[in-house]
Amino acid sequence: MKRNVIIDSDMGWDDVLSIAYLMKDPTVQIIGLTVTGCGETDLGWGVIIAQHLLGIGQHLDTPVARGTDVPLKLDNVFPQPFKNDMNDIMGLLGTLNPERLPPLSTKPAWELLHDTLKATTQPVTLLSLGGFTNLAKLLALKPAASDLAKIERVVAMAGAVYVDGNVAALNGAMKAWDQGSRYSSNYHAEWNVFVDPEAADIVFKSALPLTLVPLDACNQVILDPSYIDTITATDPVANLVRNVFKKKTGDNAEGNLPVPIFDPLATMLMAGGLTANKVDRQFLSVVTGQTEEDNHCGQLQVQTTGSRQIDIVLGVSQTLFARQYAKVINGQ
């Protein structure tokens, strides 16, 4: 029986690699793709990328829903030049020419999530690959307990628990990406939490079963040019994956900054293609206050009590990740 998955994504380069993997994974059924504008792409472009990506993968029955680009609080954003690069998948969007596009839902993302949970009789996994705004808005609708119980697990690429965050690192990677001391002094937060820390804190403090794939694990799987040669299939999805690897390890690299594989790691762990070597369990909260200097906004803090403990992936194998990713992308 296939795993029913709803993806909530900011449609950055690593999200594209993640969704490509799931479209080719025979054990997964993508039943919805919701887009958040609180992340790597501007909302309108993120929706276009989502539809075109599902289109080339022939996932034409998967609804796409537009979320929000306004966080619950604060206004932390990726540098606009970075977002401009992501808005057309680093120049690759024009190479995608699907014959048809999947439908764009008339409902906002959180309502599609709510109504899908209400209608389904099967367990659902939520894969969170961007900020948590859409999921927090789902919880604000106060779904019935019986509907929330259908969420088998939320798996999220987010946070930094026992390691440094990556906000300051990205801010300093290129001169055009420098947004000032609020960003350059934040060595504690990871971007998917930082873009809407209030929303992240709501989800972390909820009763939803949550598995976190933070930078602690992602830092062990670094983007490597050798991945390009492992993708040998020539279908449209595989071609896009190969070209994303080429772009992100070439002209569109983040300066001299080593880039973890990020979202595809969380995706593969969620789908069962990879097993974590080490998992911790903790109560976690999010620092939601912001300062211009020595900014800790978005930092994750271990607590002694809470609504439920969160599973935190701390150890993975880069070798096994690379092998499994290529195996699935080279499949039918």
* H helix intervals, 249-304: 263-271
Residue pointed to by tokens 């367990």:
123
Across the range 65-83, mean pLDDT stands at: 98
Helix axes 80-87, 43-56, angle to 10 degrees: 30
Q: Which of 266, 248, 244 is nearest to 258 (CA)?
A: 248
Q: How far apart are CA 77 and CA 298, in angstroms?
A: 13
DSSP 102: P
Q: Which amino acid, one-letter code, is at 62?
A: T
For residue 154, report the phi and psi dihedrals to the nearest 5 degrees. -100, 125
> Per-residue pLDDT for 316 more than 90?
yes
Gap between the terminal Cα atoms of the chain: 18
Q: Contact at 8 Å (CB) between 297 and 167?
A: no
Q: Which amino acid, one-letter code, is at 266?
A: A
Q: What is the pLDDT of residue 255?
A: 86
305 by Cβ neighbours in 10 Å (0-12 / 13-18 / 19+) ranks as: exposed
Domain harbouring 260, CATH code:
3.90.245.10
Four-point Cα dihedral 35, 41, 43, 47, nearest 10: -50
Which residue segment(s) compose the domain that 121 sits in?
A: 3-329
| 198-220: pLDDT as tens digits | 999 999 999 999 999 999 999 99
Q: What is the pLDDT of residue 62?
A: 98
Q: Contact at 8 Å (CB) between 188 and 162?
A: no
Across the range 95-122, mean pLDDT stands at: 97
Q: Contact at 8 Å (CB) between 322 and 181?
A: no
Residue pointed to by tokens 């040669």:
229
Q: Outline where DSSP puts E strands in the chain.
A: 3-9, 28-35, 64-66, 124-129, 151-157, 210-213, 278-286, 300-303, 310-315
Domain count, the chain: 1
Q: What is the pLDDT of residue 314?
A: 98
Structure token digits, residue 173: 């990677």
Q: Outline where DSSP puts E strands in 208-296.
A: 210-213, 278-286
| 134-192: pLDDT as tens digits | 999 999 999 999 999 999 999 999 999 999 999 999 999 999 999 999 999 999 999 99
Tell me, yes or no, if the pTM score tops 0.95.
yes
Structure token digits, residue 25: 């994974």
